[in-house]
Each structure stands twice: as structure tokens, then as C-alpha cells.
Amino acid sequence: MLNFRNTNILFSAGLIALIGCNFFYKIPFYIYPALLFVYSLVLFYGCYFVSSNFFLPVICSAATTKKEIALSFDDGPATSYTPEILAVLREEKVHAAFFCIGSRIAGNEKIFRQIHEEGHIIGNHSYSHHFWFDLFSSRKMLADLKMMDSAMEKATGLLPRLFRPPYGVINPNLKKAIIDGRYTPVGWSIRSLDTVIDDDRKLLKKINKTLKPGAVILFHDTSRTTLAMLPLFLRQVKYSGYEIVRLDKMLNLQAYA
């Protein structure tokens, strides 16, 4: 299995072999930067594909043949469009997972508590969701996650155990923060791209085309497009024989510490 440890061993062995061969054969200089380039590509893949399990295991779907899926929403709580999405879920009797940003809780406490009170679960999506979060030290990352925990505990009395990385990026520093904070990292198997697709019909078609048993779908409760397509999507999913199961139940995870 391709992971960070095996990759380092493989490329270190390759580098040593090249240096050794260089004593007997003239190795072209460009081979060394080429090796470094390939190594960088592998690291990029491991960092930016959350389901790669490159640095540590990340739960992205359920291994099942049962026609069940789970919905997740990132980046709330927000006045637009979290309340409206909650209303749609309530109308359709569907429970989801909301991975929230801690800095958005202040001023939105009522909406935040409503998420929990209506039977959804809340996960940690960092406090800052800072643009440069991936460049933070592991200590700074952990402090950021703990700030989200504190904000959530103050508002609801709950401490999240589930964590979704900002931007879906994992690196060695974040791996250490996740382990030290005793979080359970959760990804997705279907990325809706609802932050860039502004046509609800295209979004609906994209999701339906990739739907399969055990899928975890990533939406954003800050997306107008998601709100527009959600009622029809939920009805179509049920009509197709799928059951929408709350993420922690489908993945058999403990949502809170």
C-alpha cells in the first residue's frame, strides 16, 4: 500500500542506488531532479486526495452493499444558507453531519444549537479554516482545533470527536495534530463541488451519476446551489431505493468525546 513511510523508503533506496551506480557509470545529472519531481508528485497526491490514506487512515465511505448513503455539510454555521438547509432536512426527515468552522459559531449560536437539537451531528472543521492552515506547525494546528472544541462546548456542551481537514488536505503536521487531539478523521467519497458549480441541475446530475452504496457526500451549507437542488435530490434518492443514514451510524463512529 502506498503511504508516506513506504514512499520515503522507496525513494531513499532509489537515491542510494543512483549514487552507488554513479561510482561505476556516469549517471546524467537530470536524473536526480527527475527523481525529486516524481517524489513531489507522490507527496502532492497523498496530501490532496483525502481518501488516499497516505499519512493516516481517513474514513471516507462505508464498505457495504446496502443502498444507504450519508450526507455531510461543511463550512457552517451561516445565516445563508444553513437555516434553509436545516428546514429541507427537517421536512424530508433526514439527518446529516455538519462539519463546522469554530470562528463562525459566535453570532450564530442559535443556528449552531439548532443543528444539534434537530438530530444532526456536528464535527470539527477547524476554528479558523485559515487559507494557510496547511502550513501551520502541528502545535498551531492542534491549538486551532482545540479552539473549535471550546467554542462548540460553550454553545452546546458537546466535544466533537470527528474531524474533517480544511480543504481536505492532510500532511505530516496535521497527522500529528489529529493523533495528539485523538480525533477521528472523516473524508468523503463524493465531492459535490457545490462551491464552484452554480447550476443546480448540473450539480444534481453530477451527484446522481456517482451515487453508490456506502457513499459519503460532501456538500456545503453555505451554497445556494446545494439549497436549490437538495429537495429534489433527497426525493430522487429515496425513490431510487436508497436510505439516507446519519454519518456516524453508517460508519459506526462515535461522534462526541
Looking at the DSSP assignment, which residues form a beta bridge with residue 190?
217
**Are the CB atoms for 76 and 221 separated by under 8 Å?**
yes
Tally helices (H) and strands (E) across the chain. 9, 8
Q: What mean pLDDT do residues 53-66 have?
A: 96
Q: Identify the helix (H) or strand (E) that includes residue 243.
A: strand 243-244
Predicted confidence band of residue 34 (pLDDT cuts 50, 70, 90): confident
pLDDT score of 32 more than 80 = no
Can you tell me the mean pLDDT for 79-89?
97
pLDDT digit string, tens, across residues 185-228: 999 999 999 999 999 999 999 999 999 999 999 999 999 999 99
Could you give the C-alpha distances from 170 to 26, 101, 104, 111, 178, in angstroms and in order?
Answer: 39, 17, 22, 29, 10
Query: How far, in Å, CA of 5 to CA of 122, rounded?
Result: 32
Q: How confident is the model at residue 149 (pLDDT cuts 50, 70, 90)?
A: very high
Residue 21: is its pLDDT beyond 90?
A: no
pLDDT at residue 112 tops 80: yes
Q: What percent of the chain has pLDDT over 70?
A: 100
pLDDT at 225: 97
pLDDT band at residue 14 using 50, 70 and 90 as cut-offs: confident
Handedness of CA 74, 112, 101, 139 (dihedral sign): negative
Residues with Cβ within 8 Å of residue 202, at least 6 apart in sequence: none
Average pLDDT, the chain: 94
DSSP character for 240?
A: T
pLDDT band at 183; cut points 50, 70, 90: very high
Paired strand residues for 218: 72, 191
Residue 9 has pLDDT above 90, yes or no: no
The answer to whether residue 17 scores a pLDDT higher than 80 is no
Q: Across residues 3-21, what is the average pLDDT?
A: 82
Maximum alpha-carbon separation in the chain: 74
